Amino acid sequence: MMPDTILKGKAFKFGDNISTDHIIPGKYAHLRSNLPELAKHVMEDADATFAKKVKSGDFIVAGKNFGLGSSREHAALVIKMAGVSAILAESVARIFFRNAINQGLPVLICDTAKIDAGDKIEVNLTTGVVTDLTNGAKLTFGKIPEVMLGILNEGGLIPYISKYGNFEI
Amino acid sequence: MGKTLSEKILSEKSGTDARAGDIVIAPVDLAFVQDTTGPLTIRQFKEIKHGRLASPQRTAVFLDHAIPSPNRQLSNDHQFLRQFAEETGCLIFEGGSGICHQLVAEMFANPGDVIVAADSHTVTAGGLGAFATGMGSSDIAVVFALGKTWFRVPETFKISINGRFQKWVGVKDLVLHLIGVLGADGATYKALEFDGKTVSNMTISERLTVANMAVEAGAKVGIFPSDNVTQRYLAAQGKGNKYRALRPDADADYERAMIINASELEPMVAMPHTVDNVTPVNMLAGTKIDQVFIGTCTNGRLEDLAVAAAILKNKKRHPSVRLIVAPASQQVLIQAMRIGYIQVLVAAGAVILPPGCAACLGLHQGVLGDNEACLSTANRNFKGRMGNPEASIYLASPATAAASALTGEITDPRKGT
């Protein structure tokens, strides 16, 4: 299912180098086949209150190198399960980037320093513009590579491959 | 214009003239999962319409992260993985065989191969000249089904290494230094390609250590040319017929070139909580530690245990420090017993864990207490990595780890050993 093109929600701010261990640490590996239980610990080691406060549609707004570390796709998965509609970051680690898109979770690269914690954000996936409705700032985000956009538009890699049976490149 | 190693391998595999920045589809020589990423991969695989394994003999499951299982949930995950292997005929390596990346080096990886797995340290096989990289469970599920995947051909940083290491300084110090210079995202999406006189003299064990940590600078692969050292290793592992000479072209295009003089390097330590937070060991001399961990896909090989045993021989760990050693594979353990390293380490007060990931990722077998510090030979020191966000992890070489086990504080292995 294609993501909505206009996303609205609140910004949850994080710094640089938020690793997959911040997002969902290895000590919870025993919960990886019980996703609802695992998802209760999303972002726990970066902000222990995040899981309780985040609402459907909200954004993770981070600095550089978001999602570095492990290949665990559970990191992207629990963020999506928390209702986060997109991740905005200055840059993102390679494996996490593929994982998020494969889960149908947009990752948008932009100058997140202009967004403050708690700001209301609007993202237009079609025009590529992020508007901070609280302070009026308008940011453009970098283009998602075409192959990944194709996957994102089908709602993730598994639906994409189920539909096309192959990579349409 | 000539080609880098990555461009050469991806050109050959994809049947295109692959250049940095291109998107290619390449067949995969081996795709694998381990016990913490495998269950999600298999569930994703089962959701693919008409999905069946493209090639059971190129598909592998390794039980290494949580072995022997510490709890019921992970035991059930292990059952699920064993059942998948039985149903599909894919390869499976039971707990105790070793860490996936070590077993891949010992049994599967060859120069020019494309290897992908649901584990970020898949880059390790670059030490043997393979284009090897980590992906998530959905990507690997699709490789299981199609036998291929898409890659963006990476730009390459050429890292030339010359000069001789000082005694008790080695490749772990080199790669920590490199990550400190590049930064934790300094090589994101890039290939690190290693060359130079020092590289020609590196053993495969050393090359695997360097390649293993390429991902800690964000790199997609860390890759070495193949040479007679590669050839001898493959022959010793019973795959001598898989050797092929593979070098970059002399006129290949590099995004960045760096030169490192190994003779100028000191023992290095990555401080909490990022791998690029690197400093010479002397800056930390005297820092008290509670646990020393020698092992992992970075430094759990025979040569690493040899260094530790040389420093710990006829000595005892400091009474205030726990010493944990986990050989990277069954082969490493057997060889280390035959030579006598294990006996030396046990006599020095080490706890020997079964071949596997052990304490590295905080599941079991060495979880840290509040405000404790661990000096580890692993590749990651993120907050919470070893099971406790209130603990600190320092990363260093086996020599620094062993020397520090004797004193209970971070110690320069060049002093008093």
The alpha carbon torsion through B258, B381, B116, B19 (nearest 10 deg) reads -20
First-to-last alpha carbon distance for chain B, in angstroms, is 50
3-state class (DSSP) for residue B127: helix
Q: Cβ of B39 and A76 within 8 Å?
A: no
CB atoms under 10 Å from CB of B12, counted, come to 16
Nearest to A161 among B48, B136, B382 (CB): B48
Q: Cβ of B382 and A33 within 8 Å?
A: no
Which residues numbered 54-73 in A keep a CB inside 8 Å of some CB on B? 64-65, 68-73
Q: Nearest chain A Cα to B81, which residue?
A: A33
Residue A84 lies in a domain: yes
To probe the interface with B, which of A24, A44, A73 has the most B CB atoms within 10 Å? A73
Q: Cβ of A22 and B382 within 8 Å?
A: yes
C-alpha–C-alpha distance, residues B322 and B326, integer Å: 13
Tell me which chain B residues have a C-beta less than 8 angstroms from the C-beta of A165. Answer: 49-50
CATH number at residue A33: 3.20.19.10
Q: Are B342 and B326 in contact (CB under 8 A)?
A: no
Instruction: Cite the DSSP H helix spans in B15-130.
Output: 38-47, 72-88, 100-107
Nearest to B120 among A17, A45, A71 (CB): A71
Residue identified by tokens 């207490």 is B369
Q: Cβ of B50 and A165 within 8 Å?
A: yes
Total domains, chain A:
1
- Which pLDDT score is estimated for B417? 61
Tell me which chain A residues have a C-beta less than 8 angstroms from the C-beta of B47. Answer: 158, 162
The DSSP 8-state label assigned to residue B90 in this structure reads -
C-alpha–C-alpha distance, residues A59 and A10, integer Å: 6
pTM of the model: 0.97
pLDDT, one tens digit per residue, over A113-127 is 999 999 999 999 999
The DSSP 8-state label assigned to residue B355 in this structure reads S
Nearest CA-CA distance, residue B311 and chain A, Å: 31
Parallel, antiparallel, or unpaired: how do β-strands B131-134 and B114-117 relate? parallel
CB atoms under 10 Å from CB of A127, counted, come to 11
Per-residue pLDDT of chain B (417 residues; tens, 9 = 90+): 899 999 999 999 999 999 999 999 999 999 999 999 999 999 999 999 877 999 999 999 999 999 999 999 999 999 999 999 999 999 999 999 999 999 999 999 999 999 999 999 999 999 999 999 999 999 999 999 999 999 999 999 999 999 999 999 999 999 999 999 999 999 999 999 999 999 999 999 999 999 999 999 999 999 999 999 999 999 999 999 999 999 999 999 999 999 999 999 999 999 999 999 999 999 999 999 999 999 999 999 999 999 999 999 999 999 999 999 999 999 999 999 999 999 999 999 999 999 999 999 999 999 999 999 999 999 999 999 999 999 999 999 999 999 999 999 999 999 866
Tell me which chain B residues have a C-beta less than 8 angstroms from the C-beta of A32. Answer: 36, 39-40, 77
Q: Cβ of A161 and B142 within 8 Å?
A: yes
Q: Does domain B5-13+22-261 have CATH number 3.40.50.300?
A: no
Q: Cβ of B142 and A70 within 8 Å?
A: no
Token pair listed for B154: 């990476």
C-alpha–C-alpha distance, residues B384 and B371, integer Å: 12
- A48 touches B at CB < 8 Å: no
Q: Which residues contact B25 (CB under 8 A, 6 or more apart)?
A: A167, A169, B14, B148, B149, B150, B151
Token pair listed for A13: 């701010």
The DSSP 8-state label assigned to residue B217 in this structure reads G
- Residue A37 pLDDT > 60: yes
Tell me which chain A residues have a C-beta less than 8 angstroms from the C-beta of B65. Answer: 29
Q: Nearest chain B Cα to A31, which residue?
A: B73
Q: Which residues contact A114 (CB under 8 A, 6 or more apart)?
A: A132, A135, A137, A139
C-alpha–C-alpha distance, residues A140 and A98, integer Å: 21
To probe the interface with A, which of B36, B50, B365 has the most A CB atoms within 10 Å? B36
Token pair listed for A3: 């993501």
Q: Cβ of A25 and B387 within 8 Å?
A: yes
Which residues numbered 123-142 in A keep a CB inside 8 Å of some CB on B? none
Q: Are B328 and B378 in contact (CB under 8 A)?
A: no
Give start-end residues of each CATH 3.30.499.10 domain in chain B. Answer: 5-13+22-261, 268-407
Nearest to B37 among A34, A72, A162 (CB): A72
- Residue A1 pLDDT > 60: no
**Kindly report the CA angle at B105 between B46 and B310, in degrees rounded to 5?**
135
The mean predicted confidence, pLDDT, of chain A is 95
Size of interface A-B (CB pairs under 8 A): 153
Q: E strand or H helix at B115, and its extent?
A: strand B114-117
C-alpha–C-alpha distance, residues B99 and A61, integer Å: 35
Nearest CA-CA distance, residue A27 and chain B, Å: 5
Could you list the residue range(s) of the whole structural domain that residue A98 is in?
Answer: 6-164
- A166 touches B at CB < 8 Å: yes
User: B126 — phi, psi (to 5°)?
Assistant: -60, -20
Q: Are B150 and B18 in contact (CB under 8 A)?
A: no
Q: Are B44 and A158 in contact (CB under 8 A)?
A: yes
C-alpha–C-alpha distance, residues B140 and B135, integer Å: 7
To probe the interface with A, which of B28, B35, B52, B137 has the most A CB atoms within 10 Å? B137
C-alpha–C-alpha distance, residues A25 and B386, integer Å: 9
Q: Does domain B268-407 have CATH number 3.30.499.10?
A: yes
Token pair listed for A71: 């290949």
Nearest CA-CA distance, residue B222 and chain A, Å: 14
Q: Which residues contact B241 (CB under 8 A, 6 or more apart)?
A: none
CB atoms under 10 Å from CB of A137, counted, come to 16
C-alpha–C-alpha distance, residues B321 and B405, integer Å: 6
Residue A169 lies in a domain: no
Residue A151 lies in a domain: yes
Q: Are B193 and B248 in contact (CB under 8 A)?
A: yes
Residue closest to B309 by CA, chosen among B355, B342, B349, B354: B342
